[in-house]
Copies of this chain bind each other. A is one copy, B any other.
Amino acid sequence: MVKQPNPARRSERSRQAILTAARELVSEVGYAKLSIEAIAARAGVGKQTIYRWWPSKGAVVLDAFLALSESGPEDSMTLPDTGDLEADLKVVMRATVAEFADPAFEGPIRALNTEIINDPALAAQYRARLAGPVEEAKRARLRSAQRAGQLAADADLDLALELLYAPLYQRWLFRSGPLTPAYADALVEVFLKAMRPDVDQLTDAQDSAKLEKSG
- A positions within 8 Å CB-CB of B: 31-32, 110-111, 113-114, 116-118, 120, 123, 127, 156, 158-159, 162-163, 166-167, 169-171, 173-177, 183, 186-187, 190-191, 193-195
Contacts and interface: CB of A to CB of B under 8 A. Distances in A.
A183 B176 CA distance: 24
B114 A117 contact: yes
Contact of A186 (B156, B186, B193): B156
Nearest to A196: B193
Number of copies: 4
Contacts of A114: 114, 117-118
Nearest to A189: B194
A52 to B, nearest CB: 16
28 contacts: A31-B118, A32-B118, A110-B117, A110-B118, A113-B117, A114-B114, A114-B117, A116-B174, A117-B117, A117-B173, A117-B174, A120-B175, A127-B176, A159-B167, A159-B183, A159-B187, A159-B190, A162-B170, A163-B163, A163-B190, A166-B166, A166-B167, A166-B169, A166-B170, A169-B170, A170-B170, A190-B194, A194-B194
Contacts of A183: 159
Interface centre among A169, A177, A190, by most chain B C-beta atoms within 10 angstroms, is A190
A166 B120 CA distance: 20
B173 A162 contact: no
A32 B115 CA distance: 10
B175 A123 contact: yes
Interface centre among A32, A166, A186, by most chain B C-beta atoms within 10 angstroms, is A166
Nearest to A178: B158
Contacts of A159: 167, 183, 186-187, 190
A190 B156 CA distance: 10
A36 B138 CA distance: 44
A112 B116 CA distance: 14
Given A114-B118, A159-B167, 17 more contacts: A32-B118, A110-B117, A110-B118, A111-B118, A114-B114, A114-B117, A120-B175, A127-B176, A156-B186, A159-B183, A159-B186, A159-B187, A162-B177, A163-B194, A166-B166, A166-B169, A166-B170
